[in-house]
Amino acid sequence: MTKRPLILVTNDDGITAPGIRTLIKVMNTIGDVIVVAPDSPQSAMGHAITINDTLYCKRERIDKGPQTEYSTSGTPADCVKLAVHELLDRKPDLCVSGVNHGSNSSVNVIYSGTMSAAIEAGMEGIPAIGFSLLDYKWEADFSQIESFIKTVSLQVLNQGLQKGIILNVNFPKLLENEIKGIRVCRQANANWIEKFDKRQTPLGRDYYWLTGEFNNLDKGEDTDEWALENGFVSVVPVHYDLTAHHYIQELNKWDFNE
């Protein structure tokens, strides 16, 4: 009998979030599941790790199922580090992160705790996927995307991923029978037009709320933003090597000895 794969599940919305509960349910149909997730929301934490504070971890039982669960006081990246180096006796065959409540397409991947957990797993040599649904509501309907989650996860388990490659998967806010299919895409060129909403406490102390408007600068039809706007699931391969390889030759023309 073939051994069931070991699957690490994490997120950035917290261990009780509906998105991760959906992900756990789907992963239980594929393999043996261990959950290591933050005990509170850690959205937009990026790749932060805990180095100047105590990191707590405790066994949990959130709902029925065969999975083993732990909550931590740390960030999404902390969760993966703790799982790999402390809680598990072997490396997982797959790490899945999410399902995030909200988009992690385009430039949002930089800020995403969901994707940072997946990237941390990739850095550990574990095939990894970050899943996100373009619906920020806590009561979002994640059941519509379960079959797509399973399809992508099984493909990664069966095909494998090149070392250092992580999949960023985003789902449009549509019913399953309205989703047109899956598109492999590139990350759209976009940014946020940001501003701060300045307010004052009753004691006169200034404080700020960050607000902004997403600005898609990319009109290409091969991008994640185009796919999502047109009813497709977007799959973008990303990697943690931030070197601009194409610019090395140009920099070598500079005279740094002047």
Tens place of pLDDT for every residue, the chain, 258 residues? 368 999 999 999 999 999 999 999 999 999 999 999 999 878 777 788 888 889 999 999 998 899 999 999 999 999 999 999 999 999 999 999 989 999 999 888 988 999 999 999 999 999 999 999 999 898 999 999 999 999 999 999 999 999 999 999 999 998 778 999 999 999 988 887 888 889 999 999 999 988 888 777 788 889 999 999 999 999 999 999 999 999 999 999 999 887
The per-residue pLDDT for 3 is 83
* Alpha-carbon separation of residue 44 from 2, 112, 152, 204 (angstroms): 39, 5, 24, 28
Contacts with 229 (C-beta within 8 Å, 6 or more apart), sequence order: 172
Amino acid at 50: T
The total number of residues written for the chain in this structure: 258
Which ranges of 17-72 does DSSP label H, i.e. alpha helix?
18-27
Confirm if 146 and 153 have CB atoms less than 8 A apart: no
Q: Which domains does the chain have, with CATH numbers?
A: 6-189+220-251 (3.40.1210.10)
Confirm if 139 and 106 have CB atoms less than 8 A apart: no
Which run of H or of E encompasses 206?
A: strand 206-216
Structure-token pair, residue 1? 């009998």
Q: How far apart are CA 72 and CA 228, in angstroms?
A: 33
Structure-token pair, residue 93? 């065959």
Lookup result for tokens 């990350």:
187
Amino acid at 171: F
User: Model-level pTM greater than 0.75?
Assistant: yes
SS3 224: helix
The per-residue pLDDT for 64 is 86
Q: What is the DSSP letter of 87?
A: I
SS3 assignment for 24-44 = HHHHCCCCEEEEEEECCCCCC
Q: How far apart are CA 66 and CA 28, in angstroms?
A: 7
Cβ of 190: how many Cβ atoms within 10 Å? Answer: 17
Q: How far apart are CA 53 and CA 189, in angstroms?
A: 36
The per-residue pLDDT for 2 is 62
Confirm if 112 and 76 have CB atoms less than 8 A apart: no
Q: How far apart are CA 227 and CA 205, in angstroms?
A: 44
The per-residue pLDDT for 1 is 35
Confirm if 135 and 174 have CB atoms less than 8 A apart: no
The bridge status of strand 165-171 relative to strand 232-239 is antiparallel
Q: How far apart are CA 63 and CA 21, in angstroms?
A: 9
